[in-house]
Amino acid sequence: MAERERLDDLTVLGAAIWQELAAAVRQRDHPWRVATLATTSADGSADARSVVLRDLHAEERALVFYTDARSPKAQQITARPEGTLVLWSHALGWQLRLPVALEIETAGLKVSSRWARLRMTPGAQDYLSPLPPGTPVAHPVPERGTREFFAVVTARIRAVDWLELHAAGHRRARFDDDGARWLVP
């Protein structure tokens, strides 16, 4: 693998981060396509799981992913609508930590239009079970129901904490409402 040029200008770096996020929602094999979302469980402990990024609204600084409305994740988002997304790219040597405000929607135009695009794909099966996620079953694929459990989650990015792991030295930067600045890794 060729050595990637290191970006030293925070404006250029910020633009490159958003370009990579845009690529992640378009390219199925992008390393940031599957992110780790950490939320808070009912007992106050951290709960982390993978989510598939489906859309980016750069002007709103928001990422979109889907979930089953009956999942523990959905319950946690409803109870405490904040979390952190963590993304890693070995190829870039970049980690992003994104503190986010979370909003879950189970009805309305945004949900129905996304369901219309998803319902004929294999991914639709994730939202068609008549049983909630985590329910024990006798067979790997339970009976299927309707879309009533499909939910859209919007994660509004409050800040971007960027970390580069590099043989020449690790670097870290933060982008938020106060601007862009370098940090000690």
pLDDT digits over 75-128, tens only?
999 999 999 999 999 999 999 999 999 999 999 999 999 999 888 888 888 888
Closest residue by Cα to residue 16 from 111, 100, 94, 122: 94
- Measured between alpha carbons, how far is 84 from 99 in angstroms, rounded to an integer? 4
pLDDT at res. 3: 59
Do the beta carbons of residue 65 and residue 74 sit within 8 Å?
no
- Measured between alpha carbons, how far is 164 from 170 in angstroms, rounded to an integer? 5
37-53 average pLDDT score: 96
Using CA atoms, how far residue 155 sits from 4, 22, 45, 137, 167, in Å, is 29, 14, 20, 31, 32
Do the beta carbons of residue 104 and residue 119 sit within 8 Å?
no
pTM attached to this predicted model = 0.91
pLDDT at res. 88: 98
For residue 1, name the pLDDT band (cuts at 50, 70, 90).
very low
pLDDT tens for each residue of 23-43? 999 999 999 999 999 999 999
pLDDT at res. 34: 98
- Measured between alpha carbons, how far is 115 from 147 in angstroms, rounded to an integer? 8
> Does 141 score more than 80 pLDDT?
no
In which residue are the tokens 């980016």 written? Answer: 56
> Does 138 score more than 90 pLDDT?
no
Q: Which residues contact 134 (CB under 8 A, 6 or more apart)?
A: 71, 72
- Consecutive H or E run containing 99: strand 94-105
168-179 average pLDDT score: 96
pLDDT at res. 112: 92
